[in-house]
Amino acid sequence: MKMIEVLRNFAQESKWKWSNFLLEIKRLDRTQYIILFFLTIASIFMLLPIVYIFNHAFKPLHELFLFPPTFIVQDPTFQNFIELLTLTSNTFVPVSRFIFNSVIVTVLATIAMVVTSALCAYALSKHPFPGSKLVFSLIMISLLFVPQVLQIPRYVVVESLGIMNTYWGHVLPLIAMPVGVFLMKQFIDQVPNEVLEAAKIDGASEFGMFFRIVMPIVTPAIATIAIISFQSAWGNTETSQLFMQDESMKTLPYYMMSLTANLANSVARQGAAAAGALIMFLPQFIMFLFFQRKVIATMAHSGIK
């Protein structure tokens, strides 16, 4: 009965939203109709790569090499995913181990990057110290360095800490996130000092003010940084290449890179590569959709009064 009530409420809410949408459409003038038409066309055009990735993963081998290529799969099959799983069935490390490593590393790295960026931005914004502007400038300058420049220093640090072939060897090199510090600082700068001073008078601790006042206010920045962090950690292959000699500690992106290496003019494993591309893309797509909605809702309904 409870499930029926939930479904009924959902149906009523959906009907109310749809009626409001139609009402808003009727209020548009001619110029807005034209703009809406072109925006709809542009949205459909931008959705085409996503549709292609999904269709390509379910194409049988003969459709993968059709010329001219087909956009929509004609005879969908799960054989590509079966092939991807069986490629490592006779090896020491199964593909499930790579997926498990990627999930653990991505979750830990995303949380660490968001928290570290927020703490650093909070200190630079609300607790300025001698040289804080110089520190922030150096953080911004670090955006100019390409990842290849940092590979040797990172390797030296990770090897010195003794965290090779561990999950920390995956996570720690990713924690420093200059873009996250920059975005978070811009949001925290907008938090009035009077609000924090009032909380301090009421007996709130520094961490209490940070987690109970600042973090809820800067939710849009947190969501944005979470998206960037997740995409960076999920698609990272550098840590597996440089810091992991043990095959069982490497991640799914590294496995996919090794799987698709030198396949430009080869027929073998193209189906598995297409299935792997969808597996790599799907978590990032879901993460983006989830947090994009939260960002829009927070920006529309939150504020400081």
Highest mean pLDDT among 42-51, 64-73, 75-84: 42-51
Rg (CA), the chain: 24
Q: What percent of the chain has pLDDT over 70?
A: 82
Nearest to 219 by CA among 127, 286, 299, 287: 299
Nearest to 239 by CA among 108, 53, 135: 108
* Average pLDDT for 179-186: 87
Question: What does the pLDDT read at residue 305?
Answer: 43
Distance from C-alpha of 107 to C-alpha of 14, rounded to nearest angstrom? 33
Residue 88 DSSP one-character state: T
More confident call, 4 vs 285: 285
Tens of pLDDT, residues 206-262? 888 888 888 888 888 888 888 888 888 888 888 888 888 888 888 888 887 777 665
Question: What does the pLDDT read at residue 70?
Answer: 76
Tens of pLDDT, residues 125-153? 888 888 888 988 888 888 888 777 888 88
Tens of pLDDT, residues 9-53? 544 555 555 566 566 666 767 787 788 788 888 888 888 888 888
Under the banding of pLDDT at 50, 70 and 90, the label for residue 301 is: very low
Does residue 83 contact residue 271 with C-beta atoms inside 8 Å? yes
176: Cα within 13 Å, side-chain hemisphere: 9
Kindly list the distances between the CA atom of residue 34 and the CA atoms of 45, 79, 169, 199, in Å, as whole numbers in the listed order.
Answer: 17, 44, 53, 50
Does position 108 have pLDDT exceeding 90, yes or no?
yes
User: Helices 178-188 and 132-141 sit at what angle, rounded to 10 degrees?
Assistant: 130
